[in-house]
Structure 1
Amino acid sequence: MEKLGGPGAGLAIALENLFPPLPSEVILPLAGFTASQGRMDVVAAVAWTTAGSVAGALALYLLGALFGRERLMAVAARLPLVKVADVERTEAWFVRHGTKAVFFGRFVPIFRSLISIPAGVERMPLPVFLTLTAAGSLIWNTAFISGGYALGARWHEVTDVVGLYSKVILVLVAVAGLAFVGVRLLRAGRGRRRRTGAGVR
């Protein structure tokens, strides 16, 4: 972290948006610890990492905009257990709550990065997207860098707490995914039984 400095930390956070296995929960507290040792300016660390967050999110936004709604619908139509109506409902939800999703999504592991893609697909106004992303990222980055700064050599305790938070999020996502698949399979089975029964009659 000493060798990377503020710009390097910002680059690492930008890459974290594109490659989530690079954990901001480690990079940010470590930057705070480095600043507490006088080897990095804490304000610069916050500024560079926030700029990195915005840059990474912008790349995903542009990817979503390039992919576009029509391709998304075409892919959804080919996926098993997924209906175009599901995408349309999600789209309608994003139109109503997209600004909140982009801002608060910055505080949720996994979704921190992914939320930028539907924002691009839906062509959320770029100034709005950038402002919300910068605001959410500034809060998130400041909290983690401050935690590492305050804890000093115990900076890893921040990572431990957030690691537990991330695991809870992953479990909830997995349960929701399994529930979705289970309901779809159940409905598909009922539909087949009805068609079979109608054919027999």
Structure 2
Amino acid sequence: MPLPLTLAATASEQSTQLSGIAGWVVDVMETIGAPGAGLLVALENLFPPLPSEVILPLAGFTASQGGFTVAGAIFWTTLGSVVGAAALYWIGAVLGRRRLRTVVDRMPLVDLADLDRTEAWFDRHGRKAVFFGRMIPIFRSLISVPAGIERMPLGIFLLLSATGSLIWNTVFVLAGYYLGENWHVAEQYAGVFSRVVVVAVVFFVAWWVLRRVRRNRAAHGSV
């Protein structure tokens, strides 16, 4: 639904004060409305550099200005999350276990036993991983791929993705709605959380690689 004239003027003023991704997000929602917020979130799932921590509070802010209802913002952003997750699930399903094992078998430092342990873990905890993964930066997109590879029942995957996304989206849309022009406060807190997750992942990967290199050197040394 097109924005009312007065709101369009307000949104235009707001978009001129923003730059980069935030300005582009406002322009899209100004042009398309609530479905535009859903489209942006779907793209964020496929291209993680597009931060949901910016899109969702801005959707709430736009709702507070009367561009669309807060319920509409939550509905469309959650629908976008599910669409993006389903696309990544499909990519995982197309890749399949056989192709994945072929790729892993050719990777340095990784062996098929690692993949077997990962698959066993996903068999036990996959549903919790999909649900909670939708609320963790980086993993909110990536978790859909192993779900597709392991062929988690599609209905269960969509339900878990929708529920987890609904919680995450509601928190940030409402934060943007009630913070109004101070929506960026929500983005700042989410940004800190995202950076903590990124640092933790980097340290874990570095620790794992170092451990694996040492193990391989010890194995070669004992031959």
Question: What TM-score results when the alignment is normalised by the length of structure 1?
Answer: 0.96
Q: Is the 8 A contact 1:29 1:148 kept in 2?
A: yes
**1:43 maps to what in 2?**
71
The offset of 1:2, in angstroms, is 2.3
Q: Is the 8 A contact 1:106 1:137 kept in 2?
A: yes
Is 1:130 the counterpart of 2:141 in the alignment? no
Is 1:176 the counterpart of 2:221 in the alignment? no
Rounded Cα–Cα distance in structure 1 between residues aligned with 2:47 and 2:75: 21
Rounded Cα–Cα distance in structure 2 between residues aligned with 1:13 and 1:97: 26
The offset of 1:125, in angstroms, is 0.3
**1:25 maps to what in 2?**
53
Question: 1:3 is paired with a residue of what secondary structure?
Answer: helix
Q: What is the aligned length?
A: 195
Rounded Cα–Cα distance in structure 1 between residues aligned with 2:58 and 2:31: 13
The offset of 1:4, in angstroms, is 2.9
Query: Per-residue CA shift, 1:107-139, capped at 9, x if unaligned?
Result: 110000000000000000000000000000111
% identical equivalent positions: 60
Question: 2:136 is paired with a residue of what secondary structure?
Answer: coil
Any unmatched runs of 5+ in structure 2?
1-28
The offset of 1:40, in angstroms, is 1.6
Structure with more relative contact order (C-alpha pairs < 8 Å, separation 6 or more): 1
The offset of 1:193, in angstroms, is 1.1
**1:186 maps to what in 2?**
214
**1:121 maps to what in 2?**
149
Q: Is the 8 A contact 1:11 1:52 kept in 2?
A: yes
Is 1:93 the counterpart of 2:127 in the alignment? no
Is 1:60 the counterpart of 2:60 in the alignment? no
Rounded Cα–Cα distance in structure 1 between residues aligned with 2:71 and 2:56: 12
Query: Per-residue CA shift, 1:163-187, capped at 9, x if unaligned?
Result: 0110000000000000110001101
Query: Per-residue CA shift, 1:59-118, capped at 9, x if unaligned?
Result: 000000000000111111100000100011000000000000000001110000000000
Q: 2:182 aligns with which of 144, 151, 154?
A: 154
Rounded Cα–Cα distance in structure 1 between residues aligned with 2:168 and 2:44: 14
Q: Which amino acid aligns with 1:12?
A: L
Is 1:4 the counterpart of 2:32 in the alignment? yes
Q: Is the 8 A contact 1:36 1:152 kept in 2?
A: yes
Q: Which amino acid aligns with 1:168?
A: V
Q: Which amino acid aligns with 1:161?
A: Y
Rounded Cα–Cα distance in structure 2 between residues aligned with 1:72 and 1:27: 33
**2:103 maps to what in 1?**
75
The offset of 1:191, in angstroms, is 1.0
